[in-house]
Amino acid sequence: MQQTLKADEGWRIWWQLTRPHTLTASFVPVLLGTIIAFSETRVNVTLFILMMLVTLFLQAATNMFNEYYDFKRGLDNEQSVGIGGTIVRNGVSPSTVLGLALALYGAAALMGLYIAGSTSWWLIAVGGVAMAIGYLYTGGPLPIAYTPLGELFSGVTMGMAIVLISYFIQTGHVSGWAIALSIPSMILVGAIMMSNNIRDLEGDKEGGRKTLAILAGRENAVTILLLFFAVSYLWILIMVLTGLLTPWALLVFLSIRKPIGAIRIFRKENVPLKVMPAMKATAQTNTIFGFLLCLGLLLGYWTN
């Protein structure tokens, strides 16, 4: 039975529908790509703001597609952890959630057209692929989320691709240096998805999914997550030791307590509700690591 929404909680319901804890996977890569471009050119603030809005809208819409299709497939219920819960807890019509997701896609597409018209029309094709991946992640006959490729697709699309597009619209090209700096972003966005799949491992198994976490087994999946974290930090260390980055980039290590805490919780707990702090720490790792890397790049520019 659908519930009547209370006026004072309405905005919270819609806000939770976007799954705000995941939105850092959108805005941190945009900021990083723009900061990388800052060393080469004057930043176009309008394009930066539009790119930020486009990626936030696409991420929020992807989360809504997830909410809609998981409900349709019977995977979500009132006790499900980590979902917006707008349909199963608050009685919002599934068609309303789907319609809102499509509206966000439409708004993102219009802003994307402006960005492409100001830079390169090739971005229409790139953006179209990104939007298709966002939809097909949980939609379509064989959702990406049901396969072992979830971490790869989310990392490449929301991590690396967003960094490089944000860099491209400012500079008009893609450099090897920008690609190298996008690697940790790609890995840490994939880590967010891995932590989500570790948390939901048993429920996903019952729902017929074959995620990387399920195929690897829980303990091995946590070890893979640990490797994701380790490679991200070591990547920056190697770039500093080889002179590709200034020592200021080592500021990223100030965030290392977050991934350590996440791994400890995943090793100790396996109840979905009890591992939520580990998921939060994983998302915070992506956010804080990205901000500190941006700060390190800026300090490197200003002190050289």
Model confidence pLDDT, tens digit, residues 164-178:
999 999 999 999 999
For residues 237 and 264, is the Cβ–Cβ distance under 8 A? no
For residues 269 and 246, is the Cβ–Cβ distance under 8 A? no
Answer whether residue 2 is part of any domain: no
Predicted local distance difference test score (pLDDT) of residue 2: 43
Buried/exposed 156-176: b ≥16 CB within 10 Å, e otherwise: bbbbbbbbbbbbbbbbeeeee
Predicted local distance difference test score (pLDDT) of residue 63: 85
- Angle, helix 24-38 to helix 45-72, in steps of 10 degrees: 160
> What are the start-end ranges of the H helices in the chain?
10-17, 24-38, 45-72, 94-118, 122-136, 150-154, 162-171, 176-199, 201-206, 212-216, 218-241, 257-268, 276-303
Assess whether pLDDT exceeds 60 at residue 84. Answer: no
Number of structural domains (the chain) is 1
Answer whether residue 92 is part of any domain: yes
- Among the listed residues 130, 126, 90, 284, the one whose alpha carbon sits nearest the alpha carbon of residue 195: 284
Answer whether residue 43 is part of any domain: yes
Predicted local distance difference test score (pLDDT) of residue 5: 45
Q: Residue 224, class by beta-carbon neighbours within 10 Å (0-12 exposed, 13-18 middle, 19+ buried)? A: middle
Query: For 191-224, how does the pLDDT look when each residue is reduced to its tens digit (9 = 90+)?
Result: 999 998 999 888 888 878 899 999 999 999 999 9
For residues 88-105, give the mean pLDDT. 82
- Better-predicted residue by pLDDT, 35 or 66: 35
Predicted local distance difference test score (pLDDT) of residue 89: 61
Query: For 238-280, how does the pLDDT look when each residue is reduced to its tens digit (9 = 90+)?
Result: 999 999 999 999 999 999 999 999 999 999 998 888 899 999 9
Model confidence band, residue 70 (pLDDT cutoffs 50, 70, 90): confident
Provide, rounded to the nearest whole percent, the portion of the chain with pLDDT above 90: 64
Q: Which domain holds residue 271?
A: 7-303
Model confidence band, residue 94 (pLDDT cutoffs 50, 70, 90): confident
Predicted local distance difference test score (pLDDT) of residue 77: 55
Answer whether residue 1 is part of any domain: no
- CATH number, residue 116: 1.10.600
- Better-predicted residue by pLDDT, 193 or 68: 193
Predicted local distance difference test score (pLDDT) of residue 7: 42
Residue type (1 letter), 15: W
Predicted local distance difference test score (pLDDT) of residue 6: 47
Distance CA 281, CA 259 (A): 6
Distance CA 1, CA 109 (A): 35
Complete DSSP assignment for 84-141: --TTTTT---HHHHHHHHHHHHHHHHHHHHHHHHHS-THHHHHHHHHHHHHHHTTSSS
> pTM score, two decimals?
0.89
